A and B are shown apart, each in its own frame.
Chain A
C-alpha cells in the first residue's frame, strides 16, 4: 500500500507554540500534498511539494521532504486557535492516497 502514515496521531499545544507533524510513506513519489480538515468540513489543500524540492513555505507553514527517508514534515509556526483541525498528507500522481491524519488541538 502507498498509504502515508502521520505521526503523532494527536497533538495538543498552547496557542503561539509551533506544531510539527510528520508523514512517512512507502513508495517513490512525484509529489506529496498536505491537506487540512476542520471538524465537520471538507479538506482544504495547504501545500504541494515536489520530489525534487526539499523545503517549501506558505505563510506560517513550512513543509520539508526527505525522499531518502521517505518522510515529510509540516511545521505550523505561531499557532492559532483556528489551526485546530486534522492534517493529512497525501501522495499519488493520479490517485491520492491519504494517511490517517494528525488531530491538532490549539489551546488558548
Chain B
C-alpha cells in the first residue's frame, strides 16, 4: 500500500513570498490533516478535512494560510505571504475514518523562510 505522498520535500523562500505544498493521502482515506511542526516541538494541527469538507481549522492562521481538498482526495496548503515564523516542517496525514483512527503521516515538507 502506498503511503502519504508530499511535495516538495524542501522549500526555501524569502519573507512575503508565497508557497504551496501538496499532499496525496492513502487511497480510500476520507480524513486528511495538515500539521505544522516547529523545530523541537510536537506537531500542531492546522486543518482537518473529512472528504472535501473542513472539520476543524481553528488553529489555521486564516489571514495568510489557506487549504483546499478538491474532490476529496489531494490537498494543497498555501501560505501567502510567508513570515519568518512560518519556518517549520509541514506534515500531511490521513486516516481511514474521522474518530479514534490511526493517522498515517507523509515525510513532510521542510520550509525555511529567510
Instruction: List residues of chain A with CB under 8 Å of any chain B CB.
Output: 3, 30-31, 33, 35, 40-45, 48, 88, 90, 93-101
Contacts and interface: CB of A to CB of B under 8 A. Distances in A.
Contact of B98 (A3, A45, A90, A94): A94
Nearest to B45: A95
A42 B99 contact: no
A42 B105 CA distance: 6
Given A94-B55, A94-B98, A42 B4 contact: yes
Q: How large is the interface on B (under 10, 10 to 19, 20 to 34, 35 or more residues)?
A: 20 to 34
Contacts of A96: 33, 45, 103
A100 B42 contact: yes
B71 interface: no
A88 B33 CA distance: 17
Contact of B42 (A31, A33, A41, A101): A101
A88 to B, nearest CB: 5
A98 B43 contact: yes
Contacts of A44: 105
Given A48-B102, A93-B99, A42 B44 contact: no
A98 B103 contact: no
Interface in B32-68: 33, 40-45, 48, 55-56
A43 B108 CA distance: 9
Contacts of A43: 43, 91, 93, 103, 105
Contacts of B22: none
B100 A98 contact: no
Nearest to A50: B100
5 contacts: A42-B4, A43-B91, A43-B103, A95-B48, A100-B42
Contacts of A99: 42
